Structure 1
Amino acid sequence: MLSELEPVWQALNAGTVHDPFRGLGWRIEEGDHWALYEWLPTATAVEVGGKRLAMVAPGVWRARFTADERKTLLPHHTVRWQEGDEMWHSVVSPWTFPTLLGALDCYLIGIGEHWRWWEKLGAHCVEIDGVAGVHFAVWAPNAERVSVVGDFNQWHGLRHPMRVLGSSGIWSLFIPGLTVGDRYRFEIRTRSGAIVTKSDPSGQWFELRPQNGSKVWRSRYTWGDEAWLAARNAWDPYHEPIAIYEVHAGSWMRHADGRFYSYRELAERLIPYVQSLGFTHIELLPLAEHPLDESWGYQVTGFYAPTSRYGTPDDLKAFVDAAHQAGIGVILDWTPAHFPKDEWALARFDGTALFEHEDPRLGEHPDWGSLIFNYGRHEVRNFLIANALFWLVEYHFDALRVDAVASMLYLDYSRRPGEWLPNHYGGRENLEAIEFLRRLNTLIHAEVPGALVFAEESTAWPMVSRPVWMGGLGFSFKWNMGWMHDTFTYFAHDPLFRRYHQDKLTFSQWYAYSENFVLPLSHDEVVHGKGSLVAKMPGDADAKRAQVRLLLAWQWWHPGKKLLFMGGEFAQWREWSERRELDWGLLAEAGHRGVQRWVADLNATYRALGALHDFDCDAEGFEWVDCHDAEQSVIAFLRKGRKGEVVLAVLHFTPLTRTNYRVGVPFGGLWRERLNSDSRFYGGSDVGNCGAVRAEAVPWHGFPYSVALTLPPFGALLLQPVGREEEG
């Protein structure tokens, strides 16, 4: 018997053991006697059931028990041990407990189809045979040995070695007595003999920065958003209003001493604010754990853990729940395109390029100094798809915004010739990433009814937001980066010269319905010297704010869903910095309060009028009235709803007041001035049309009627017919 066990004991001492259970626990001996073997490498004395154990190999302790004595210690026994002259310690031995991963779990992970990865891997508080503790599991197929280390074993790498489950590469161990809040990591001995200590890739709670270890977590949260989820499942997002307020949780608002608001404090302040402005959704920049406060959250080191900067995982659930009960959806930025090189996280996790590619031409991101996931590996693909489902299922997020999709689609993204490898057809398309995205979107829509997936994709890749069965990537929506870039290019011109660039406004209609678009004015456009929205505009302060109101009208009345980054809603002067809160003091000034009121009224009108949202993704809802008046920098168009509603939008991009400006309309009668960006209420000069104009039977722009308008400087008008007088 001893000869069979000795190789295991030698491996325990060498730190190379693959299955410590083969040499520990109960072993039957001659007759009715049993031997119990315990592994306590730092002990000087050990006893079980009042019987002293003898050391039979370094760190291995043994005692013989009769069958009757053994029965009194089943199913699991307590070990008492002493280290030096210290007091005696007492724990339940871990060497008699089974793994909680079955053969089916290992098989599904191996083929990349275990969609509840987070329920099996990581650290989980459980009871086995009435004994409470934590079950640990981690995927590290090329490790020579994996141990759980923490305060409970003085971070000693030999104390709690895990066992590998067959050829799955998954290591597991149940440690009795551990509970919520216990700190832990995985100590890994690589095939080269190096020792690395890693945080848990599937860990659901992390130490507060600057520490980066994992912590045991068990949710106790009770949800109250059943009505919201039921309504969401039956919702038609393509024909309903979506207006998104994009937020960086750490810099929206802070305490007077600079401390972050917690998730629950944000719920108390941010949600009522978003309600007051009429946004339908909040989009949060990445909340998955990341190392630095001075970041936007895109360098993720804990993909399954909400950052501890703002509280516990249940605090984040409380935020999402409060938003839902207030009628607001919540979108999470998600970052499957890359991960940082921090040595304690995913990079070369088991001593090899496990999550990333080995070849830097495939595995390193030249722009961000980060690593690229190996989408062709089953387990990596499983890790990421399950992670997306985790945020939607466990935290009830309504949507994911997938960051940097373009960088995933192209093998030569941001690379010079010779710095990338073509696919097996010789092309530049990343076929494995394409298949990953299609599988991701298919599963999300199947597993989480009503959930949406937004793509930040900046190229002309076709059918990003078309179903997989049509040959698309399967996203729900795509950010319209072309609209955003052209719009900013246009507004950057001096108004005197905008007449030469009107195509920057009108070109978007050539492709506006090729995808399901979101029109983004995002965080990326107000950082790194780009200037805030208001700072981008030419002219004095009043002219700049007027043009921000005009820009927002163009965004809200143009087909497509809406997204505005925080601070833009009140025309913050300074560009955004993650190091400080927004400049809320600006709201003491009437001009900035006016912009904020304008956003609220844009949202209220967008949500109230089907003509402004019914056909956001369909050409049926848009008709040019006049896109050719470049000389006077004016455009006019109709938006139409499913019930026949029509509104007229007229936008004027110069600082002049234009009187008796005639615009064709389809109906006679009174046209009410529903919105006027130049109203004094919004900080304007109050140039307008006294609330309404009457259409005359004067054909214009191909329509049987027309209205003669006064166009305010840098003004946007939205007119709605009051009754209809139709020709004939």
Structure 2
Amino acid sequence: MPNHIANIDNFLAPYSDVINSRTQRAIDKEHKLSDRSLYDFANGYQFYGLHQVDDGWIMREWAPFASAIFLIGEFSSWEEREEFRFSRTDNGNFELRVEGEKLQHKAIYKLKIHWENGSGERIPVWATRVVQDDDTKLFSAQVWQPSHDFVWKNDKQRKKVEVPLIYEAHIGMATEKEGVGTYQEFTAEILPRVKKAGYNTIQLMAIQEHPYYGSFGYHVSSLFAPSSRFGTPDELKELIDTAHGMGLAVIMDLVHSHAVKNELEGIGLFDGSPYQFFHDNERREHAAWDSLCFNYSKHEVLHLLLSNVKYWLEEFHFDGYRFDGVTSMIYLDHGLERSFNEYKLYFDGGQDEDALTYLLLANKLIKECNANAMSIAEEMSAYPGLATPIEQGGIGFDYRLAMGTPDYWIKLIKDKTDEEWAVGNIFYELSNKRAEEKTISYAESHDQALVGDQTIIFRLVGADIYWAMSKKDKSLSVDRGMALHKLIRLLTFCCAGDGYLNFMGNEFGHPEWIDFPREGNEWSYKYARRQWSLVDNPELRFEQLDAFDKAMIALQQNEDFISQPHIECLEANDGDHVLALKRKDLVFVFNLHPTASYTFYGVSAPAGKYNVVFNSDEKAFGGFDRIDESIDYYTRPEAQMSNRHRVHLYLPSRTAIVLKYTPPKRMF
């Protein structure tokens, strides 16, 4: 197979047998799971859980260690009654039929499960609606059966996203109020902002229900329930449908790498057994994350997780997933004790082969549900083949996140003076990607904005972010910070592998870190929100950073340069701090020198004419308006009769210009 990953990357040739065996293992597992297709196999949510039928309701749960299960709620005065006792069927399944109208829309319920030497109240594993009591703070399942099914209006607007420009967002902290935002508020207030900003994909965090708000949605308790703290399932559907009508795709963070340890809200001790869905040994608990690790070798776990993959795509019309914590999934030590500085560490037996099988099957299922859906791996070990097609020996993700890029920028800002920034090294770090795998690049995401860390703008500007962001103020710190903030983003953007991501608010330099309500901050929402009034205020410089970001995104929309994977380095002069790159018909020229501006600076370039289509020094972007965009630039030969040409430019300090190339006209 000429396109096999081991043929594309010769360093993988010694491991081709391992790679092939992993692919075959997944194929064999698929055949064992179903004699039809993964799509038919992943229907657990249609069988398990609570469903309305002609004569009432039917509910099923898998609880092999349980001895008895009762449905309890307001309808039973929260007591165990024989009419609400489940019957054991086969293979550890329990079933209950409730006749008539004993269950009503919005009724609150739980399960009372008995097992050997114990019992407890539990939320059903397959619950699709979970709510929290305002007074007791306890969670319960809720019957959700509106009188009318949701009607999707904008399905025809859904198209494949060729170059994802992703706006990462959190529903609860998307509004400016000091409280929890809602699906409805996001639909009305935030979707128009994302559309206007030019992004084509929204990535929603914290959708799956989670008991602790401050976990950012990464300690999931109910896999199938959209978080009720933001509103109802129908309101989430309305958000997605409205986004589709705007031409926006919507993907979600999918957390299948671990689950919350909470017993009352989660599934860690659902039927009294600690190993129903999780490992039963030292691998059960994730020491770094204080959570539980799924046992991907069990068919029932694969059924649960694959059904969950299908559920959100089919029932809510999501357009794909960002899989969280993939590194943790694929290594037995969760990747915590490895430096990943040699290839053998990817194939040394320290991998969770069952997790790799699951991920391959999940990616295959996604395409069976929606051929245009995308899957993105949050993975930091650079595992080879992760974003390579399955038929080429890969795991089948469409993209992987370039997780090293934010770390690189942070290290550069912290450890190097501006004079020590080496443009050649910057280009290498930003463009050094596996040629056969697609990547999503980003300068920072929500991770860098969390309390205890700092955003790029905070690192660059410091306290002046609070006191000197008026357009009337003079601050060298703000001038430097804004200039580098723009250059860092444009450098990351023009070197983006195959897509780009931004966390909401970072595009305009949001001044605050993210800190969810907790005892340590007296349960305050002050830092768990986005201050849109800052960017909406024409007297503040946040507006200028926002204008830059919009223009940068528009550059891709107009020129589609990211679809051209090849990036040519035309100039990398570390002494002058000048870097020039060519991608498609655009030439990006950066002068990162903190003080030196250059006149008539020759940059190696193909012969022809060049015109400025974008520059970071525009007054509207908070620059000093030193570049004349009306000039036509023509290359000159480096020497008489030379085939090498240079275009000569004025390069102010800490600026970038983007020129569009027009080839010379043929004389005959």
SS in 2 for 1:362: coil
User: Paired residue for 1:513?
Assistant: 435
Structure 1 position 483, deviation (Å): 2.8
User: Paired residue for 1:691?
Assistant: 630
User: Paired residue for 1:482?
Assistant: 404
Partner Cα separation in structure 2 for residue 499 and residue 549 of structure 1:
16
Partner Cα separation in structure 2 for residue 113 and residue 328 of structure 1:
29
SS in 2 for 1:537: helix
Indicate whether 1:163 and 2:87 are aligned: yes
Residue among 161, 175, 182 paired with 1:253 = 175
Residue among 645, 655, 668 paired with 1:715 = 655
Indicate whether 1:638 and 2:558 are aligned: no
Indicate whether 1:534 and 2:482 are aligned: no
8 Å CA contact 2:58–2:95 kept in 1: the answer is no
Partner Cα separation in structure 2 for residue 310 and residue 380 of structure 1:
28
User: Paired residue for 1:183?
Assistant: 108
Cα gap change, 1:361 to 1:108, in 2 (>3 Å): farther
8 Å CA contact 1:689–1:710 kept in 2: the answer is no
Q: What are the within-5 Å matches in structure 2 for residues 327-366 of structure 1?
A: 327-344=247-264, 345-366=266-287
| AA aligned opposite 1:363 | R
User: Paired residue for 2:485?
Assistant: 548
Residue among 287, 300, 313 paired with 2:233 = 313
Residue among 371, 380, 399 paired with 1:449 = 371
Deviations 1:122-149 (A, max 9, x none): 111221xxx3x22111110111111111
8 Å CA contact 1:364–1:371 kept in 2: the answer is yes
User: Paired residue for 1:432?
Assistant: 354
Q: Structure 2: any 5+ residue segments left out of the alignment?
A: 1-32, 339-344, 462-475, 517-524
Partner Cα separation in structure 1 for residue 385 and residue 348 of structure 2:
22
Partner Cα separation in structure 1 for residue 434 and residue 654 of structure 2:
24
Structure 1 position 170, deviation (Å): 4.0
Q: What are the within-5 Å matches in structure 2 for residues 397-408 of structure 1?
A: 397-408=318-329
Cα gap change, 1:682 to 1:688, in 2 (>3 Å): same
**Structure 1 length normalisation: TM-score?**
0.77
Cα gap change, 1:358 to 1:116, in 2 (>3 Å): closer
Indicate whether 1:614 and 2:563 are aligned: yes
Aligned Cα RMSD in Å? Answer: 2.5
Indicate whether 1:378 and 2:299 are aligned: yes
SS in 2 for 1:535: helix
Partner Cα separation in structure 2 for residue 416 and residue 479 of structure 1:
21
Structure 1 position 725, deviation (Å): 4.3
Cα gap change, 1:727 to 1:551, in 2 (>3 Å): farther
Number of matched residues? 589
Partner Cα separation in structure 2 for residue 658 and residue 360 of structure 1:
64
Structure 1 position 530, deviation (Å): 2.0
| AA aligned opposite 1:683 | G
Identity over the aligned pairs, expressed in percent? 25
Indicate whether 1:389 and 2:310 are aligned: yes
Partner Cα separation in structure 2 for residue 572 and residue 713 of structure 1:
25
User: Rg larger in 1 or in 2?
Assistant: 1
Q: What are the within-5 Å matches in structure 2 for residues 562-711 of structure 1?
A: 562-578=500-516, 579=525, 580-587=528-535, 588=537, 589-610=539-560, 612-615=561-564, 618=565, 621-627=566-572, 629-640=573-584, 646-656=585-595, 657-669=597-609, 671-699=610-638, 704-711=644-651
Indicate whether 1:471 and 2:393 are aligned: yes
SS in 2 for 1:144: strand
Structure 1 position 181, deviation (Å): 0.8
Cα gap change, 1:473 to 1:414, in 2 (>3 Å): closer
Q: Structure 1: any 5+ residue segments left out of the alignment?
A: 1-105, 418-422, 641-645
Partner Cα separation in structure 2 for residue 504 and residue 658 of structure 1:
21
Partner Cα separation in structure 2 for residue 494 and residue 302 of structure 1:
45
Partner Cα separation in structure 1 for residue 349 and residue 563 of structure 2:
40
Cα gap change, 1:386 to 1:487, in 2 (>3 Å): same
Structure 1 position 494, deviation (Å): 4.5
Structure 1 position 714, deviation (Å): 1.7
Indicate whether 1:201 and 2:125 are aligned: yes
Q: What are the within-5 Å matches in structure 2 for residues 240-279 of structure 1?
A: 240-255=162-177, 258-279=178-199
Indicate whether 1:557 and 2:506 are aligned: no
8 Å CA contact 2:611–2:629 kept in 1: the answer is no
Partner Cα separation in structure 2 for residue 721 and residue 263 of structure 1:
44
8 Å CA contact 2:59–2:96 kept in 1: the answer is yes
Cα gap change, 1:162 to 1:317, in 2 (>3 Å): same
8 Å CA contact 1:512–1:559 kept in 2: the answer is no
Deviations 1:275-320 (A, max 9, x none): 1110111111121111123331111111101111111100000000
Q: Please state which structure has a larger fraction of its residues in helix.
A: 2
SS in 2 for 1:213: strand
8 Å CA contact 2:66–2:114 kept in 1: the answer is yes
| AA aligned opposite 1:305 | A
Deviations 1:341-361 (A, max 9, x none): 111120121111244434442
User: Paired residue for 1:32?
Assistant: none
Deviations 1:192-251 (A, max 9, x none): 23111110111111113523110111252100112123xx2xx3x4xx332111111111
| AA aligned opposite 1:134 | W
Structure 1 position 151, deviation (Å): 0.8
8 Å CA contact 1:487–1:504 kept in 2: the answer is no
SS in 2 for 1:552: helix
Partner Cα separation in structure 2 for residue 501 and residue 623 of structure 1:
14
